[in-house]
Structures are given as C-alpha cells and as structure tokens.
Amino acid sequence: MRIENKNAIVTGGASGIGRATVRRFAAEGANVLIADRNGAGAELLAQELAGSGRKVLAHQLDVSNEGEVDAMVDRAVRDLGGVDILVAAAAIPYAGFGGAEDRHRAIVDKPFAEWRELLSVNLDGVFLVDRAVARAMIKAGGGGRIINISSVMAVRPAVNSSDYCVSKAGVWMLTKVLALELAPHRITVNAIAPGGVRTPMLGAALQRNPGMEQAIIDSVPLHRIAEPEEIAAAAVFLAGEEASYCTGTLLHVNGGTLMV
C-alpha cells in the first residue's frame, strides 16, 4: 500500500502499460482516473476494479486536445479530490503498431501528416497533460509525482522510425526541464524507458512480421520481452515515498537493451 489514499491519473490507461499501471495503483491503495481515447475500454477497466475499495473513474480523452486535457484534470480535482500522481502513458506506436498500415519509412519518404499525427499525441499530448497536472499540483500546494513513459528509443536511434524516436527524445527532455522547474514546488518529474513490452500494440506488429519476436528477444540481454506489469512496478516506485529524492531521472526498464 505504498500510495494509499493518493489520487492518480493514468493516460492511455485502458490497455498495455497504462492498464497494468491502473491495476497496480489500485492494488497499492490509490484512487485512479483512467483516461483513454478508448472510452469503452476505460469504462470496462473501471468496472473491473469497482470492488477494489478504491475510487476508479473512466474518462474518454484525446491527449492532443488542449480543452479535453484541461477538462479531464478539472474532473480529477473535483471527483477525486486532487491529483497527487500522473502517469503519462498515452502514445501512438511507431511502425503502425495496432493499425492496418506499417509506417516504417525513411525520413525522405515520411509524409508530414504522419509526422504530425504521431508527435501530436506522443509529445504534444505529454506536454499538455504534464502542464495541466502541474498547474493543479502547484495550486494545491502539496507536491506530487509526474511520471512520463518514454522509451529506449529516446536515446538510441532506429532507422525508419524518426517520428517515434524524436517524440520519445522530446518526452525525455521535457521531463528534465519540468524536473528543474517544478522542484521548488516539491513535484518530482521522472521518465521510464521501456524496451519491447508485450502489449496489444506490439502483439499486432508481431502478427504482421513473423520472426520479429525472436529478433527482439535476441537483442535483449535478459533474453525475453517485458510484461506490462514490470513497467507498472517501476511506476509505483517512482510514485511512492521511496523515490522522494529522484527527479529528472530516466529509469531504464528494458532488460539491459540499453545501458547508460
């Protein structure tokens, strides 16, 4: 019960890393607002956790929409009583994970519309959510925890994945700047850098690309793909008192894929 009676927002909370984080936060005693573009999925998860003894709310959200983001934070303040923790996990994956189209493209072949679509969620969306939550935390005066989901690709480039790499590198720099700016308010800001994680989005890519799973496994020193719960465990650590002196950190949870 490391975050008992804390109030948390998890964006992208209806699936993958976000879903595992919502479940873990509720198990650790937090009230949670599940924000996701998939409102029905968020509602199903809220219903699943209805018997947990915690307040769990579902909220449909497009993180790239400034008005929707501000309204979501206002609801969390009103209906949960405040925001102590944010996990910004909403993202569009590279290479068309979860979609019909594989968007692996060299920069010279990258349509600007694809570039903007991905960055509007992966970077602009994190900025908007971080900003709105930070404003609420500053106003409340009780400090807080902001945790952004970045990637190993924030610091390790990959061909044909320019938009994704740049978006996650931007999240990492945003995290560091916010850590400096919010430290006087006792708000810590950290990021997590997963590698391959067994989420529905990765699963869709593995179905389209036979042999991809083994290639990922072969690239990881621990020789396996992570489970979403392992990333959620890192989020619980960063959200709790044990990480009270951690800020501006990129926590690598990637099986040794990237060592810095």
Sequence-ordered list of residues with C-beta below 8 angstroms from that of 192, at least 6 positions apart, any chain:
147, 148, 149, 150, 231, 234, 235, 238, 250, 251, 253
Is 164 considered catalytic here? yes
Residue of 11, 164, 171, 228 marked catalytic: 164
Torsion sign (Cα): 81, 82, 87, 92: positive
Sheet holding 250-253, edge to edge: 56-60, 31-36, 7-11, 85-88, 144-149, 187-194, 250-253
Using a 10 angstrom Cβ sphere, with 0-12 exposed, 13-18 middle and 19 or more buried, the burial of residue 8 is: buried
Active-site residue numbers? Answer: 164
